């Protein structure tokens, strides 16, 4: 199962793919609701001694993306026309990424995450615990769409509903 | 063997079955024993559960017969509560997790902010190295397995107090897993040692503070707290009662304070607990439906909320309505002393986790971990065991080991040679009373450990009396100084010379013929009066033992 997430940038949406994990998290009680998100049909195996490889099934066999749900979770409003149009387009992007499935990973060491620009930095990317006051806090406050000194005014949302 | 614990604090409830007899207000506390373990043989409940698979039906603990054993408590004895706790510890680092903003509790709203923690476009997070240090310290203190390679993930959801629209957290590869915590239950709850499992510890950032306006259509946010580092500690579902759960939380507080990673204050929000409670018939391996409880602001509310929730669930079971127990989040209402539904249905949240691309892997080296390990102080559990071995009573042990500053003071005092039991008594008695009155902490007082040792030695050697000792203590606490100095300055050396005391006794007896008469005619209590007079004359310096011995002789002598 592939879930797509739409990451909202300021001016353009970026489509990111979260491929299925083969790591089983908490067993037994699993009393953290968030951790039971993992798809139980994945074969459970511990990272440490796993020979896990991502499944070879082609992405084109996957169910069509649920555009409405994607829009809802990303809080993007779409017109009916857009819902219809975006489905196939999203599918195409997924298939384009799907080419990665053709890569032979048998000789490759497992990593816990893909290397990104953050890893390219020289040395270890850590900072000392030394306070620095940001000099332009006024400008930040000024840029707030709605300010009820000293608070930021926001719409009333009672629950963390998705 | 499964532990049966059903602490039943019942007020009259309309939910009770049939009999009107049951509607009488019952204040009995039905308290079944908890499993007693010796520390050498302690296992976590999870380990026990695995062992117990082969065993036959667990031994039921005998309950002392109660006059009114009501329906619910009878049924309660057949159920086992299963409790797990998720704790968030706010780290006391100088700066936030991913930016250099200073954080101080109580600062003016929205004055500790910058583009990173405000989630403004183009800002990138950079991890505070102190956060890793705190995480490793805590993981080692809780006997966890460290992940030498871990990563951050984005936990995505929309909420007004979450500037970026996601929280940087750790999802599937946390920095630590599989540990345990040891604690001793307080004596007033039966005492006993416990070991509870820790499932995982991970690093994450806090959100801002959201306040809902009373009337309106809008809310207000203070983002000072956004980005403050947190450690989330998830326990194994090993607790079985409210008191075990609250003591678990108290021990976590003790540990984080000992380590200096957090001030662990529930009232301030630097220690937050969410509790998951379910019940199941004894012997059933599957868990029952679990209910989450939020809004717990103190250890005692953890205790009471869990006990209430256990009662509520047992009640429903006893009425055959166990299906109405659904997986939900309930709020603890301190005023009404009950849990209430927060919202009807909670579907599984979809946080769309994915690895945080803006942060590199968190890599630990063995050298680093070893150096952090060496820097750890003696932890509460080790201290308690050491104090026990020194011969202190459990009550003393629990008191002294509770606060690291007190323990350090005690350790320093006995290191100067003071008698262990006496040092404990002084600290737990007069010194503790002084601290309470003056609302001070032990690090604020002017008395230093080696002067306390000196004081104890002076009393022991007979140089000064116990009573004088107390006076000197008070002076030392408030103004400092040395024992030797004060003794000299105020001429407090105890009078132990037999001749000197005898002279004073004779004088007092001669000056008080009427009382002597009364004493001789049977009012032997007046010995105290005479003793008091001699003490007054000697300015409190007469040795009480010698004085009283002489008095008895003299008062009874002349016939």
B108/A132 Cβ within 8 A? no
B93 and B127: one domain? yes
Residues of B in contact with A155 (CB under 8 A): 160, 217-219
Q: pLDDT band for position B537 (50/70/90)?
A: confident
Residue B4 confidence (pLDDT) above 50: no
Specify if B375 maps to a domain.
no
Question: Nearest C-alpha of chain A: how many angstroms from B127?
Answer: 5
Smallest Cβ–Cβ distance between B128 and the set A129, A133, A153 belongs to A129
Question: Strand pairing partners for A148?
Answer: A151
Residue B551 is part of which domain span? 498-555
Q: What is the pLDDT of residues A108-135, one digit of tens each?
A: 888 888 888 778 776 668 999 999 999 9
pLDDT of residue B117: 97
Q: In what order do the strands lie in the sheet with A147-148?
A: A147-148, A151-155, B218-222, B209-212
B454 and B308: one domain? no
Q: Which two tokens stand for residue A143?
A: 């840029």
Residues of B in contact with A34 (CB under 8 A): 155, 349, 351
Residue B67 confidence (pLDDT) above 50: no
Residue A30 confidence (pLDDT) above 80: no
B341 and B419: one domain? no
Residue B80 confidence (pLDDT) above 80: yes
Nearest CA in chain B to A21: B172
Specify if B508 maps to a domain.
yes
Cα→Cα distances B312→B175, B273, B299, B353, Å: 37, 20, 20, 35
B394 and B459: one domain? yes
Given CB atoms, is A145 within the 8 Å cutoff of chain B? no
Of B489, B511, B528, which residue sits at a domain end? B489
pLDDT of residue B49: 56
Task: Work out the angle between the directed axes of helices A80-98 and A67-74 (0-180°, nearest 10).
Answer: 100
Q: What is the pLDDT of residues B30-61, one digit of tens each?
A: 333 333 333 344 556 655 555 554 444 444 44
pLDDT of residue B3: 39
Residue B22 confidence (pLDDT) above 70: no
A33/B218 Cβ within 8 A? no
B482 and B515: one domain? no
Q: What is the pLDDT of residues B175-223, one digit of tens each?
A: 999 999 999 999 999 999 999 999 999 999 999 999 987 777 899 999 9
Q: Which two tokens stand for residue B210?
A: 């959201």
Given CB atoms, is B107 within the 8 Å cutoff of chain A? no
| A–B interface: beta-carbon pairs under 8 A | 183
Of B166, B168, B149, the closest CA to residue B157 belongs to B166
Q: For B443, how many CA atoms within 13 A lie in the half-sphere containing its CB? A: 5
B360 and B226: one domain? yes
pLDDT of residue B528: 85
Residue B459 confidence (pLDDT) above 70: yes
Q: pLDDT band for position B237 (50/70/90)?
A: very high
B464 and B508: one domain? no
Q: Which two tokens stand for residue B259?
A: 């380590």
B326 and B428: one domain? no
What is the domain count for chain B? 3
Specify if B547 maps to a domain.
yes
Q: What is the pLDDT of residues B371-416, one digit of tens each?
A: 999 999 999 999 999 999 999 999 999 999 999 999 999 999 999 9
Q: Measured on CA atoms in the order B303, B304, B308, B309, is the torsion positive or negative? A: negative
Specify if B47 maps to a domain.
yes
B127 and B190: one domain? yes
A129/B130 Cβ within 8 A? yes
Residue B437 confidence (pLDDT) above 70: yes
Nearest CA in chain A to B92: A129
Residue with the larger pLDDT of the pair B42 and B517? B517
Smallest Cβ–Cβ distance between B290 and the set A31, A112, A140 belongs to A31
* A contact residues 4-43, partner B, Cβ 8 Å cutoff: 5, 8-10, 16, 18, 21, 23, 25-26, 28-29, 31-38
Over residues A34-44, mean pLDDT: 34
Given CB atoms, is B192 within the 8 Å cutoff of chain A? no
A156/B212 Cβ within 8 A? yes
B74 and B120: one domain? yes
Residue A49 confidence (pLDDT) above 50: no
A134/B115 Cβ within 8 A? yes
């Amino acid at each position: 199962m592939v879930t797509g997430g739409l990451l909202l940038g300021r001016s353009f949406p970026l489509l990111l793919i979260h491929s299925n994990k083969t790591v089983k998290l908490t067993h037994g009680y699993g009393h953290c609701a968030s951790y039971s998100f993992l798809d139980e049909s994945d074969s459970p195996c511990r990272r440490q001694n796993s020979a896990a490889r991502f499944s070879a099934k082609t992405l084109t066999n996957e169910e069509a993306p649920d555009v409405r749900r994607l829009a809802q979770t990303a809080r993007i409003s779409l017109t009916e026309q857009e819902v219809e149009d975006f489905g196939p387009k999203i599918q195409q992007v997924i298939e384009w990424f799907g080419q990665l499935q053709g890569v032979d990973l048998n000789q490759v060491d497992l990593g816990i995450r893909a290397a990104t620009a953050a890893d390219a930095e020289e040395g270890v990317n850590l900072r000392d615990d030394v306070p620095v006051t940001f000099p332009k806090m006024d400008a930040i406050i000024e840029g707030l769409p709605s300010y009820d000194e000293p608070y930021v005014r926001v719409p009333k949302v009672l629950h963390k509903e998705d | 063997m499964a532990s049966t614990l059903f602490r039943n604090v019942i007020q009259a409830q309309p939910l009770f079955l049939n009999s009107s007899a049951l509607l009488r207000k019952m204040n009995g506390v039905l308290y079944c024993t908890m499993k007693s373990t010796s520390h050498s043989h302690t296992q976590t409940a999870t380990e026990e559960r695995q062992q117990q698979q082969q065993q036959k039906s667990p031994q039921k603990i005998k309950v002392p017969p109660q006059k009114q054993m009501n329906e619910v408590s009878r049924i309660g004895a057949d159920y086992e509560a299963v409790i797990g706790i998720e704790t968030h510890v706010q780290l006391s680092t100088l700066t936030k997790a991913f930016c250099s903003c200073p954080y101080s509790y109580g600062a003016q709203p929205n004055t500790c902010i910058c583009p990173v923690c405000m989630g403004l476009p183009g800002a990138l997070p950079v991890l505070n190295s102190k956060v890793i240090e705190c995480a490793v310290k805590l993981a080692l203190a809780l006997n966890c397995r460290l992940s030498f390679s871990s990563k951050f993930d984005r936990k995505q959801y929309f909420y007004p107090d979450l500037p970026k629209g996601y929280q940087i957290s750790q999802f599937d590869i946390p920095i630590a897993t599989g540990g345990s915590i040891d604690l001793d239950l307080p004596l007033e709850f039966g005492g006993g040692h416990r070991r509870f499992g820790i499932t995982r510890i991970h690093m994450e950032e806090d959100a801002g503070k959201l306040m809902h306006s009373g009337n309106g259509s809008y809310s207000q946010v203070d983002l000072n707290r956004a980005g403050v580092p947190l450690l989330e500690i998830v326990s194994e579902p090993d607790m079985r009662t409210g008191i075990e759960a609250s003591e678990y939380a108290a021990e976590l507080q003790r540990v984080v304070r000992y380590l200096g990673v957090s001030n662990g204050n529930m009232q301030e929000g630097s220690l937050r607990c969410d509790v998951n409670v379910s019940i199941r018939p004894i012997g059933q391996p599957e868990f029952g439906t679990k209910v989450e409880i939020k809004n717990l602001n103190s250890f005692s509310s953890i205790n009471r909320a869990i006990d209430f929730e256990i009662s509520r669930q047992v009640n429903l079971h006893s009425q055959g309505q166990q299906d109405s127990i659904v997986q939900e989040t309930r709020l603890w209402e301190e005023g009404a002393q009950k849990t209430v539904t927060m919202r009807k249905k909670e579907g599984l949240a979809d946080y769309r986790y994915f690895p945080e691309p803006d942060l590199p892997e968190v890599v630990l080296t063995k050298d680093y971990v070893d150096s952090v390990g060496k820097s750890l102080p003696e932890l509460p559990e080790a201290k308690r065991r050491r104090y026990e071995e020194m011969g202190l009573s459990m009550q003393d042990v629990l008191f002294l080991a509770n606060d690291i500053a007190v323990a350090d003071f005690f350790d320093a005092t006995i290191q100067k040679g003071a008698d262990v039991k006496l040092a404990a008594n002084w600290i737990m008695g007069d010194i503790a009373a002084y601290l309470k009155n003056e609302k001070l902490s032990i690090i604020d007082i002017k008395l230093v450990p080696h002067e306390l040792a000196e004081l104890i030695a002076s009393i022991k050697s007979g140089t000064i009396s116990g009573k004088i000792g107390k006076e000197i203590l008070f002076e030392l606490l408030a103004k400092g100084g040395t024992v030797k100095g004060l003794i000299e300055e105020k001429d407090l050396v105890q009078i132990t010379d037999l001749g000197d005391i005898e002279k004073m006794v004779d004088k007092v007896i001669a000056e008080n013929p009427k009382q002597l008469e009364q004493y001789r005619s049977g009012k032997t209590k007046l010995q105290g009066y005479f003793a008091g007079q001699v003490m007054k004359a000697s300015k409190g310096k007469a040795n009480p033992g010698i004085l009283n011995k002489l008095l008895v002789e003299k008062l009874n002598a002349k016939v």
